[in-house]
Amino acid sequence: MRATARAQPNIALVKYWGKSDVSRNLPAVGSISITLDELYTSMSVEFDGALPGDVLTVNGEDDEAMLARAGRCLDAVCGENRQRARIDSQCNFPIAAGLASSASAFAALVVAADSAGGREHTIAELASLAGGASGSAARSLYGGYVELENAGDDIVVTSLCSATDWPLKVVVAVTETGPKRVGSTEGMEISRKTSPFYGRWIEQQDADLAAARDAIAARDFAKLGEVAEHSCLKMHSIMWGSRPPLIYWNSVTLECMHAIRELRSRGVEVFFTIDAGPQLKAICTPGSESSVTDALSATTGVRDIMISGLGDGARLVGDD
């Protein structure tokens, strides 16, 4: 009745921004991501018929705000007649700050719940269930390079290439540690309804996905970087063009972006991406991470640096 699973966050290289169906949490576009290694959420789920209601602790503290969402996710995996659950989440990186903590949390939650509840969903089914709770969580069920296809009334998630087949590195520059200003579901709806660029974004997504898929198949770092930065900046253009505007960057985010472009002009194989938060993620080839780390550490205002390789998908780490 108790199980523990671990999952790492993923970072989208071809972003998703916008939902086709908010009630079912279906994305309006497909996306391609990389699953990280060193950052993780470890999630324990224990079903207990004696509990009056679900209980959620995050890093040892009660978390009322996330409880209902976690409970709905357990219902989706184990059915609404399930026993109440004690859920304990341990996360080794900042939460809700644009570092994809919800992706690792819900990916780990569906795997732990499935096992604790004695269910035997396939990974593909668990990916779809995790996606119902957090769009990007579906991608953390798989390792390495992952594509999420928007299949109309469901999603299909596949691994394009394993972490060991193309072991790139990721250097995260943390520029702020507070929670994000506007949650992504709310932000996506604001953009869908108000941004003049939203329609073009949807139209162009298939071309970006195809370019990234080809670059990954050919291990073409420069081509992958070009499409990833383009996708990131396009997504932020939609956000900036929304009413009210969604500005997730701070001045340090922009300084980090310049630092990465400057490094690249000197021949370092690196590109950047930024999600719905102020942190910059630099993706580089193995061996380049020390110069990337040095450049980002030297950028005034960077508070912390995290370095990660690429890793596997969500998995059980304990079952008793």
Q: Which of 283, 36, 27, 282 is nearest to 142 (CA)?
A: 36
Q: How far is CA 318 from CA 46, 109, 113, in A?
A: 12, 13, 12
Shortest Å distance, C-beta 71 to ligand PMV: 18
Per-residue tokens: 121 = 């969903």
- Pick 147 or 275: Cβ nearer ligand PMV: 275
Q: Which residues of 154-181 are buried (b: 16+ CB within 10 A; e: fewer)?
A: ebebebbbbbeebebbbbbbbbbeeebe
| Residue 120 beta carbon to ligand PMV: minimum distance, rounded to whole angstroms | 26
Question: Nearest approach, Cβ of 135 to ligand PMV (angstroms)?
Answer: 3
8 or 288: whose CB is closer to ligand PMV?
Answer: 8
Residue 116 vs 170, nearer CB to ligand PMV:
170
- Note the residues at the interface with ligand PMV (CB under 6 A): 12, 15-17, 31, 102-103, 134-136, 184, 275-276
Q: Which is nearer to ligand PMV, 135 or 278 (CB)?
A: 135
| CA dist., res. 44 & res. 10, Å (int) | 20
Closer to ligand PMV at the Cβ: 188 or 295? 188
Decide if 307 contacts 293 (C-beta within 8 A): yes
User: Which residues have a Cβ under 8 Å from the Cβ of 45 and sit 6 or more positions away?
Assistant: 2, 3, 4, 74, 85, 86, 87, 109, 112, 113, 116, 117
Task: Tell me the closest approach of the beta carbon of residue 138 to ligand PMV, in angstroms.
Answer: 9
Q: Which one-letter DSSP state was computed for residue 270? A: E
Q: Closest distance between ligand PMV and the C-beta of residue 235, in Å? A: 7
- Measured CA to CA, the distance from residue 19 to residue 25 in angstroms comes to 7
Query: From the CB of 160, what's the least distance to ligand PMV, in Å?
Result: 15
Q: Smaller CB distance to ligand PMV: residue 103 or 259?
A: 103
Q: Strand, helix or coil at 127?
A: helix
Query: What 8-state DSSP symbol labels residue 138?
Result: G
